[in-house]
Amino acid sequence: MRTGIGLVAIIALAAAGVAQGQQVNFLVIGDWGRDGDGFQTKVATQMVAAARARPIDFVVSVGDNFYEEGVRTTHDRQFTTSFERVYADSALQVPWYVALGNHDYQGDPQAQVDYTQVSRRWHMPARYFSVVKRIDDSTTVELFIVDTTPFIEEYRTEPKYARVAHADTRPQLRWLDSALAASTAQWKIVFGHHPVYSASPKHGNTPELIRDFKPLFEKYHVQVYVAGHDHNLQDLHTPAVEYFISGGGSEGRIAGRAAETRFSATSAGFLAVRLDAATLHARFINPKGKTLYKTTVPRHALVAAHAGAS
């Protein structure tokens, strides 16, 4: 299977077994790879606790996997010091579906694609791809992992992002359009590094994704988009799509609030998801193991979703 920007891999796993019966359980973490420094090790410890309390089927990383400048080969020490050693517990020895972030583009993104052939749990067969998981006999979820960095205009003039200076985003948009159109999954969830909406004063909304991604999400009834980039935890609600930010894998920055904000926390942490045929149950958990917030997103009639703190 060829890999690279503008090329895609689709992993069909519709027949895969699901832990704990008629549901899929997974964690989402972003902006984490600091050799265990900052809050990375503490967040990892709480990911283990969550995965032991409710065994998980997989983890999704929403990018910025290795600070500050990504990795350059599959032998880069950071694969060991920031990934394998930090997330070593048996509870986390499940597939990791991985997106690229902007810091990953400061190294060689292809090294992360190629690491799929080295690690039994690291899955990045291309820079954007999809995965299908079965929930029950009549319900599946399709996970769409997208590569957002080439869409960001400001990177095209920054020398450290030379790898995206002339990137053509049209093939990825064509793929996402066709893949969403062809999907027969009852749940469609998209994961990428940059947020569509964010209330954080550090980065905030991403106009390029509002322009290019949001219309596709709404056209094809994507229920949820999960991003990182802003190093905090957020839930932003729109009538068509729920937008989560889980960028607290190793750091917590000011989160802010906006018109779409249902929850925001200046905190490190991660998102824990339980997905059944009818409802997505989401919890944000901080480095001390406290559930800061929980909410549900129904498969249908998203406007009826409700949220609450605990």
**What positions carry a catalytic annotation?**
203
Using DSSP's 3-state secondary structure scheme, residue 306 falls into strand
CB 277 within 8 A of CB 22: yes
**Burial class (CB within 10 angstroms; exposed 0-12, middle 13-18, buried 19+) of 266:** middle
Q: Are strands 233-237 and 261-265 parallel, antiparallel or unpaired?
A: antiparallel
CB 29 within 8 A of CB 21: no
User: Chain centroid to CA 305: how far?
Assistant: 21
Indicate the length of the chain as a whole number. 310
CB 268 within 8 A of CB 284: no
CB 58 within 8 A of CB 108: no
For 130, half-sphere exposure in the C-beta direction (CA atoms, 13 angstrom radius) is: 25
**What residues pair up with 7 in beta bridges, in sequence order?**
none
Closest CA to 149 of 209, 68, 239: 209
Helix, strand, coil tally for the chain in percent (to 5): 25, 25, 50
Q: How far is it, in rounded angstroms, from Cα 172 to Cα 70?
A: 22
Backbone angles phi and psi of 109, in degrees to 5? -60, -30
Q: What is the largest CA-CA distance in the chain?
A: 50
**Burial class (CB within 10 angstroms; exposed 0-12, middle 13-18, buried 19+) of 245:** buried
